[in-house]
A and B are shown apart, each in its own frame.
Chain A
């Protein structure tokens, strides 16, 4: 059976049973149930509870065997001592998919309880996600995690042995970069489904365009290498291996009973399979977001279009010391750029406008000349005129407030946002039209409406160095693919 079909109960449930939800909103089970419903889940939820008649308005059963409906998925967030007994009930009821959020098993040395769980699950053909995990997200409308987060639907999937890394960075970073998620899977102790199983499912999954893996230990090493090798030819894989130092190894062992591998082993696996290794969760999500939303660079030549000399220079250094080129542009191209640029500006590359208040030139005219040329393979911007200045005019001292210039410009900030959005529509079109990656870098955040607009429409907006590293690693992946052709 295809893996994706085998996991249908996890990825496409219609009826979900909760153990551990109650009328106390702060209980772990209640949090998961509530988050699922606030994500827009259209199916049915059924709480199981020993005493309550109803929970949060839903009819409640004392025992799962009393439930008449067909149940696709069971979620358990209860005392670990009770789990195996309830699992036996689930087995007899013919349930095939259970998420066990609770910890208290192999990670605390309780091998017996975990072995018993495996035996029951295998006897009744139950697939378990966990135990000791943070659940799953399946966009657009399934969120069975403790994080109340309505993700934007996209193509990024994450498989993680760390529950925290499966969900926490996503709140912080997705709200910064507008990441589009397909699936998040927290595998926990992997009692009878593991990293390799979920990777096999994601390989088949049309909704997934790229995959991030956070791992400490691999229980099926050779299978892991083989599936990564297979997937990475079609969908880029980004990994964060952890537990590479003595203290890291100790920590990994204590929280998932993991035996880690040294860095040189992980590096050699990346060499062999072309998977991209990154060192932190921010780099990982930046890169996955770019893989999901941009075409791959076809070569290593970058054009830098900047509103400041410093970032242009720093970006050039980073690119050129990491295998990419910031080539001098031909006289023909420079001649095309010149009429649209200030007299003192440089057209060589980086194309440095120093300062320009003509955003149309900066965001539409010049980029199109560059993207159209066959001298560059990708484009990175630095600088955006923000609206903070205009919005901040409300904070001038009282004696200035009535000045007519200030009154006129106070509302200009919001008009400006709308004006920028029209310019950005062009850039969004350029990406498709010229099939070259475009990244915009600046220090503005999603508080600026147009930053959110760009990000949500597939143009990554990062800090300058983050943007550079993202392109460097995209090229690393492209180059790997080209070497295999």
Chain B
């Protein structure tokens, strides 16, 4: 069993079938997938110290094994610009968590930098098919995936060429590629991350679902950034 695999087995042993955001990001960074700087803090003052270290604006989110959908539970606050705002946000998040579930288990509050706008916000996802194994998904976020279903799929493993065809395979591809004189996105870095996701999925059979959403693609040479991540597990047979 690989070291990363043991992390997943331990989580399953806790009777939990998903990784919290910070765990997901820890896991992704083992595979060299860029997740940005973040820290799970236990107190308000710790939060303020870290916020000042990385600089405002920041995002604060509650980390709890009881909460998988943070927006639904109102335990996420975006674009916090000062110490005072952060203090208020911190209290609010804790209160909302307790409203959501009175005996909620709280690991801490995850502080990360508010991501800058990039060329595009995309999704990298995956499910595990019973016949063919991990199937990688790529598409633009928001309405592109929800309404237009403008996504492409490939069964892992894939090579660089296939990943490139996958990126080019969606209708919205020109928006990443400098449509009407706009800035071009860092497609090479994007492809690199997609290949790393494949590797991660092939090496960890307990993962049945992966959802990197949103992922910001910056201009060429500036890479990409996974802003939020969810990993779902299944019990080993």
Q: Which residues of A come within 8 Å of B, CB atoms?
A: 217-219, 221-222, 224-225, 259-262, 264-265, 267-269, 271-272
Contact = CB atoms under 8 A, between A and B. Distances in A.
Interface stretch (B26-34, B128-136, B216-224): B128-136
A225 B155 contact: yes
Contact of B153 (A217, A219, A265): A265
20 contacts: A217-B131, A221-B155, A222-B132, A225-B132, A259-B131, A260-B131, A261-B129, A262-B129, A264-B153, A265-B131, A265-B132, A265-B153, A268-B135, A268-B153, A268-B155, A269-B155, A271-B154, A271-B169, A272-B158, A272-B162
Contacts of A225: 132, 155
Contacts of B133: 221-222
A271 B165 contact: yes
Contact of B155 (A217, A219, A260, A272): A272
A218 B131 contact: yes
A222 B156 CA distance: 9
Contacts of B153: 264-265, 267-268
B129 A265 contact: yes
Is the interface on chain B under 10, 10 to 19, 20 to 34, or 35 or more residues? 10 to 19
Interface in B70-94: none
B208 to A, nearest CB: 14
A225 to B, nearest CB: 6
The interface residues of chain A, by DSSP majority, are classed as helix
A246 to B, nearest CB: 16
> Quick one: which of B129, B133, B152, B169 has the most chain A CB within 10 A?
B129
A338 B158 CA distance: 53
Contacts of A224: 131-132
Given A261-B129, A261-B131, A268-B155, 13 more contacts: A218-B131, A218-B132, A219-B131, A221-B131, A222-B132, A224-B132, A225-B132, A259-B130, A259-B131, A262-B129, A264-B135, A268-B154, A271-B154
> Quick one: which of B131, B154, B158, B165 has the most chain A CB within 10 A?
B131
A217 B131 CA distance: 7
Contact of A261 (B132, B154, B158, B169): B132
**Top 9 A-B pairs, shortest CB-CB distance:** A221-B132, A268-B153, A221-B131, A218-B131, A261-B131, A259-B130, A268-B154, A264-B153, A265-B129
A287 to B, nearest CB: 23
Contacts of B165: 271
A153 B131 CA distance: 34
A224 B135 CA distance: 15
Contacts of A264: 135, 153
A485 B27 CA distance: 39
A260 B131 CA distance: 7
A123 B152 CA distance: 45
Contacts of A260: 131
Contacts, number: 46
Contacts of B154: 268, 271-272
A219 B129 CA distance: 12
Contacts of A269: 132, 155
A218 B155 CA distance: 14
A259 B129 CA distance: 10
Nearest to B202: A222
A199 to B, nearest CB: 15
A260 B158 CA distance: 22
A265 B152 CA distance: 10
B6 to A, nearest CB: 25
Interface in B146-194: 152-155, 158, 162, 165, 169
Contacts of B152: 268
Contacts of B155: 221, 225, 265, 268-269, 272
Contacts of A217: 131
Nearest to B159: A272
A269 to B, nearest CB: 6
Contacts of A219: 131
B191 to A, nearest CB: 16
Contacts of A261: 129-132
A237 B114 CA distance: 50
A207 B131 CA distance: 30
> Quick one: which of A217, A261, A267, A268 has the most chain B CB within 10 A?
A268
Contacts of B130: 259, 261
A261 B155 CA distance: 12
B237 to A, nearest CB: 13
Contacts of A271: 154, 165, 169
B56 to A, nearest CB: 42
Nearest to B137: A264
A153 B129 CA distance: 38
Nearest to B151: A264
A375 to B, nearest CB: 30
A85 B219 CA distance: 70
> Quick one: which of B152, B155, B165, B169 has the most chain A CB within 10 A?
B155
Nearest to A215: B131
A257 to B, nearest CB: 13
A271 B169 CA distance: 10
B158 A265 contact: no
Nearest to A262: B129
Interface in B111-136: 129-133, 135
A261 B131 CA distance: 7
Contacts of B169: 271
Contacts of A218: 131-132
Contacts of B135: 264-265, 268
B217 to A, nearest CB: 22
Nearest to A260: B131
A271 B153 CA distance: 9
Nearest to A259: B130
